[in-house]
Amino acid sequence: MKQKMSMMMILILCISILGACSTPKDGGTKKDTTEAGAAGNKKTLILGTNAEFPPFEYREGEEIVGFDIDLGKEIAKELGLELKVEDMIFDGLIPALQAGKIDIILAGMTIKPDRLENANFSDFYFTASQMILLHKDNDTILGPDDLVKKKIGVQLGTTGDEVAQEIEGAEVIQFPAAYAALLELSNKKIDAVILDLEVAKRFLTQNKDLKMLDIELTEEEYAAAINKKDTELLAQVNEALKTLKENGTYDTLLKK
Ligand code: GLN
């Protein structure tokens, strides 16, 4: 009986050793996932943004500041991570995310179908719309129909770019940043600029030559983009967003 028991024990031991031996395979897959989303095992959350989009992200001297940066800091804090901000061209953000160079994008980025093919998006944190900006001397463009065959400035790869491309016969001029498009508009080199509402409002306070039509061309939602393989981070970010909305931090940042 005793012998039978110890045989059983050895058998159980063998099975568990075998089991343990097969674990590295699973562990391997897990490791791949975390490496792909650069966050894995690290103490830092690398936030990718394009610091030309006030009040969401912009430079104050050397420092990158704004709502998205504050939100990123709070999310990182919830996750027990240190935040590092990488500034790059807007159009390069999703490729950087896919290459694992950044963990998360917070860049006033709108959730849209083609982006969903290349990244996961968190729950949305802000609603937005595309607006038409004009030189204040322009009294012939009264709505999107008047943009037909006109020269329209946009920021490359944005939803504003997409909206402009759909306008019949329009000549769409893509700029690396919105302020460059607005400068051309001030100089009357182009007829209009299509840009996100809050950002347009901010630029208008700084440029008295420009005005905005009171027509919302789109309904959009900004969210954080995360590497498709990094589903764990996606869940954590959604959880953090929920907490920040519930505990009032989100509202405080919004007011700021
Ligand atoms: N919301 C727009 C987009 O997602 C513009 C974002 C931006 O220029 N930072 O395309």
pTM for this entry = 0.83
Ligand 1 site, residue 108, Cβ cutoff 6 A: yes
pLDDT band at 41 (very low <50, low <70, confident <90, very high): low
Atom of ligand 1 lying closest to residue 53 CA: 9
Ligand 1 site, residue 152, Cβ cutoff 6 A: no
Which pLDDT score, from 0 to 100, does residue 256 have?
Answer: 86
Number of CB atoms found within 10 A of residue 247's CB:
12
Spatial distance between the Cα atoms of 98 and 212, rounded to a whole number of angstroms: 36
Ligand 1 site, residue 174, Cβ cutoff 6 A: no
For a ligand 1 pocket test, name from 115, 133, 196 the mutation site with the most ligand atoms within 8 angstroms of its C-beta.
196
Ligand 1 site, residue 155, Cβ cutoff 6 A: yes
Do 161 and 181 form a contact (C-beta atoms < 8 A)?
A: no
What is the mean pLDDT of the segment spanning 215-228?
A: 98
Question: What's the angle, vertex CA 159, arms to CA 153 and CA 160, rounded to 5?
Answer: 25
Q: Are strands 171-175 and 151-155 parallel, antiparallel or unpaired?
A: parallel
Q: Mean pLDDT score of the chain, rounded to an integer?
A: 89
Q: Say yes or no to pLDDT of 30 above 80.
A: no
Which pLDDT score, from 0 to 100, does residue 40 have?
Answer: 52
Which pLDDT score, from 0 to 100, does residue 27 have?
Answer: 36
Q: Say yes or no to pLDDT of 23 above 50.
A: no
Instruction: Give the residue from 186, 244, 242, 223 showing the smallest Cα distance to 106.
Output: 223
